[in-house]
A and B are shown apart, each in its own frame.
Chain A
Amino acid sequence: MKILVCISNVPDTTTKVKFKEGDSLFDDSGVQWIINPWDELALTRAMELKEDAGNSVNEICVIHVGGASADATLRKALAIGADKAVRIDACPADAYHVAGQIAEYLKENPFDIIFSGIESSDYNGSSVGAMIAEFMDYPGISSVTSVNLDDDDIQVNRAIPGGKQVIKTETPFVAVVQKGIANEPRIPSMRGIMMARKKPLEVKPAAELEVLTESIKFELPQEKGACKMIDSESTEQLVDLLKNEAKVL
């Protein structure tokens, strides 16, 4: 069985975001790039499935749509343990474009399980995984919190409001994963980093595809007013303020 993990290359979560060219572009100067946190967890779960000898997983490939600046992030995914990385050399203009590029790759290179994160922490589009499923006409499962394999029998847990569903699916399918899919993301080991240098990182040309949406301008949220401090003895005063000033009760 082969697993494909979609990787988004995003600014470190502590980045102070800035914009340039009249607030029309994200200013990436000095930004540290990381694997999108959910994609990192998806990769970790894929590794666990491969390592468990009871499963038939024999290849994990990571895929990214974007420019060469993401190669360091892909090398990190290889160091964590992916067998192979693919970068589609296209500008990741919007979710439709990214998913379409990945679908084009899948048509030539089939996989059994495709993992995608619930959202990318930069543009928060939360659409790529489900779009891939639609482009490929595959079943897709959203809000996935666990994936288990027993030979070729696949069991997936999906979070629903206040509970969960246990789902069986056939392959190929797309799992859009969230918190719970793996406990802690893996950190590359020294050996992993050495091995990653020899693993393949293929660069593929972009397919001709439309772009349906475009970010044209950014703005920063309004500054929040000062916090009103209340004495720890005066909890009644807080209740009164919440009722009569903030009017949230």
Chain B
Amino acid sequence: MQAYLDISHVGMSFGGKRTSVVLTDVSLTIQRGDYVSIIGHSGCGKSTLLNIVAGLLQCSTGGVLLEGKEVDSPGPDRAVVFQNHSLLPWLTVYDNVRLAVDKVFGRTKTRAERDQWTRHNLALVNMSHALDKRPNEISGGMKQRVGIARALAMEPKVLLMDEPFGALDALTRAQLQDTVMDLHQRLGNTVIMITHDVDEAVLLSDRIVMMTNGPAATIGEVLPVTLERPRDRLELANNPAYHRARAAVLAFLYERHRAPSAH
């Protein structure tokens, strides 16, 4: 059967004369509603892979198919949550999301519906209290919530998140993970998330894609996480399956594919 998202034999090299090969032969299929994490050491090419799926980068070899259609440019059907939120600082929280809503649903929804949809998505991430605040008036965690609301509001086929919680403290991060997990449960969106955090990967994912070290990185191993949903971080602490998954990822990252010492 045809996969929802099909990344097939993707390779990527940068530069003209002295080309550096970043990715080789990356193949991955993702089904609708899957939550897939990509984990790997810094610089191995995770962001590059995500940007190729987003269409922000063109891969050198191979290709990406979304619902059978080739991905060749960025678009709102593959909404991105950037690591540093990248909200527009001159717009309010509401207007940041509204900009996306107006652009994506300008033709199909009335003005009132778009207003409603903007508020609805901000409510999903519990940001209704700060509609008129500007990004520099809210905390890092709140900014990331708005970034997620903006991406969700586009009703993407695939939600792409590049280390969405990387810049947050542990408590805020846990709160946001719970929010994202809850939203995934309710909305059933297809998600690709890059992370550095093993616990985060195990907690959130259906599958964990582990990448080998660059240059010329590729997928080393894919670990299915079969823990039942909804998951609860406290209960998982005593769950042997959780610890087995965790140990498998750690073994991959720190035994078989240790970070190159030159860092």
Tell whether A pairs with B: no
**Chain B residues with a Cβ under 8 A of chain A:** none
